[in-house]
């Protein structure tokens, strides 16, 4: 089977989306399929031994971390030569639009994935623009995704959200975890001593330092805990991003170990006591699985895809979005009720152990095969 895969971003470990993408690419290669990769980021070399074709691009004004790619005759020529059975379009931008047109013109099946709620990001930067573009954005999304043969979403909540906007042909493709990379064995007291938190309840945040992750909520939780005099609670923020200086200024006693990958990240997870993830814009939240596999419960907001993960796993608590008191109550419950904490911990561990990438990715690989067989049978009839 010959698969074309396009994503606007592909840099490994950049975020949950690119982590998921690399896992899928690995599964495709291990299954013995031919794969052509396209992206519109800066040059990133090879993935799983494959060259990554790069489309010309420019950074977005509101989101300079993301780039807008452009389609041209050279790209079309390479697609013609590859002669794909299936297209996988991860980003519905200019390149994604043109790849969709190319595939549909030739009756090649197209799989897409709704993994990022880009429209929700706008309200954190330009509320007027968000109000103007939200309806237009959903109209385009409805057109784009309904032209695809299948659209994969990570949770039932997000599936319902798309269905409410008139998007059909949705299927569930969840997220997985590598238990050899995230587990209890990475816990280290020396790291907690390095943080100065040997005897503290350590609250961890892992992710991008950007406002659309609802980090104003995190700042306010930090400040409220200080106001309450709860000195035996500490904060660790692992990541990087454009608002890091403001976070350091407003959370002066927090620890900032930087952007981490590999065992450095694994140790930070396992050496903490709770993952706090206040974001309301997630479609799943890979960090939740990483935390649960590392033996720490999670506290999440009640919007987006995260609450479904917590409901299914029993691995933590769900707070009311943007309500600081609700988050504080969840944190105090897990900190003070050790029996409840242990139940959440064990439930989260049990759930994570069932989320193998091999099994998760078999869902989308099976769909590729089904669509490719259908396409080939039609093209030869």
- DSSP one-letter string for 253-299: TSEEEES--HHHHHHHHHTSSEEEE--SS-SS-HHHHHHHHTT--EE
Residue 363 contacts residue 172 (beta carbons within 8 Å)? yes
Residue 201's contacts (CB-CB under 8 Å, 6 or more residues apart) are: 232, 233, 234, 273, 274, 335
Whole-angstrom Cα distance, residue 149 to residue 295? 39
Token pair belonging to 3: 């698969």
Q: What is the pLDDT of residues 296-336, one digit of tens each?
A: 999 999 999 999 999 999 999 999 999 999 999 999 999 99
For strands 46-47 and 50-54, give the pairing: antiparallel
Global pTM value = 0.90
Quote the pLDDT of residue 169: 93
The rounded distance, in Å, linking the Cα atoms of 219 and 282 is 19
Q: What is the DSSP letter of 44?
A: -
| Residue 235 pLDDT | 98
SS3 317: strand
β-bridge partners, 365: none
How is residue 249 written in tokens?
Answer: 């200024």
Question: In CATH terms, are 2-176+356-379 and 184-352 the same topology?
Answer: yes
**Distance of alpha carbon 336 from alpha carbon 201, whole angstroms:** 10
Amino acid 129: pLDDT: 63
Give the position of tokens 């669509």: 371
Q: What is the mean pLDDT of each run of 10 residues along the chain (381 residues)?
A: 91 80 94 93 77 80 65 93 96 93 96 81 61 80 96 95 94 95 96 97 96 96 97 97 97 97 97 97 94 98 96 98 98 98 98 94 95 76 54
What's the topology of domain 2-176+356-379?
Rossmann fold (3.40.50)
pLDDT of residue 66: 64
- What's residue 18's pLDDT? 85
Tell me the C-alpha distance between 120 and 141, whole Å.
Answer: 13
**Fold type of domain 184-352:** Rossmann fold (3.40.50)
Structure tokens at 196: 């100065």
| pLDDT of 134 | 74
Residue 123, pLDDT score: 63
Question: Residue ranges of the domains in the chain?
Answer: 2-176+356-379, 184-352
Burial (0-12, 13-18, 19+ Cβ within 10 Å), 266: buried
Strand, coil or helix: what is 381? coil
pLDDT value, residue 331: 98
- pLDDT recorded at residue 69: 72
CB of 254 closer than 8 Å to CB of 244? no
- The predicted pLDDT at position 11 comes to 76
């Amino acid at each position: 089977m010959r698969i074309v895969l396009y994503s606007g971003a592909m840099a490994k470990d950049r975020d949950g989306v690119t982590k998921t993408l690399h896992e899928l690419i690995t599964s495709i290669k291990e299954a013995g399929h031919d794969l052509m990769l396209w992206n519109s980021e800066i040059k990133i070399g090879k993935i799983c031994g494959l060259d990554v074709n790069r489309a010309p691009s420019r950074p977005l004004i509101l989101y300079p971390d993301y780039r807008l790619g452009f389609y041209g005759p050279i790209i079309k020529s390479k697609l013609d030569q590859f002669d794909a059975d299936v297209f996988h379009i991860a980003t519905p931008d200019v390149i994604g639009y043109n790849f969709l047109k190319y595939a549909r013109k030739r009756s090649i099946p197209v799989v897409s994935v709704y993994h990022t709620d880009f429209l929700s990001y706008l309200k954190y930067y330009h509320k007027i623009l968000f109000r103007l573009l939200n309806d237009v954005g959903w109209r385009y999304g409805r057109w784009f995704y309904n032209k695809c043969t299948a659209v994969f979403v990570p949770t039932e909540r997000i599936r319902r959200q798309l269905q409410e906007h008139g998007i059909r042909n949705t299927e569930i493709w969840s997220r997985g975890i590598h238990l050899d990379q995230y587990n209890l064995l990475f816990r280290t007291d020396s790291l907690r001593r390095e943080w100065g938190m040997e005897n503290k309840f350590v609250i961890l945040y892992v992710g991008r330092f950007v406002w659309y992750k609802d980090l104003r909520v995190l700042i306010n939780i930090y400040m409220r805990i200080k106001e309450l005099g709860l000195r035996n609670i500490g904060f660790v923020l692992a990541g990087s991003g454009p608002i890091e200086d403001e976070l350091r200024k407003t959370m002066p006693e927090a620890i900032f170990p930087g952007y981490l990958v590999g065992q450095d990240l694994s140790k930070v997870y396992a050496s903490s006591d709770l993952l706090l993830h206040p974001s309301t814009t997630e479609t799943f939240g890979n960090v939740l699985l990483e935390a649960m596999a590392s033996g720490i419960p999670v506290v999440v907001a009640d919007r987006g895809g995260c609450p479904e993960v917590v409901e299914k796993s029993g691995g933590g608590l769900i707070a009311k979005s943007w309500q600081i008191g609700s988050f504080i109550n969840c944190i105090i419950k897990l900190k003070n009720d050790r029996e409840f904490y242990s139940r959440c911990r064990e439930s989260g561990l049990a759930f994570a152990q069932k989320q193998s990438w091999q099994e998760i990715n078999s869902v989308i690989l099976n769909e590729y095969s089904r669509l490719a067989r259908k396409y080939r049978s039609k093209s030869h009839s």
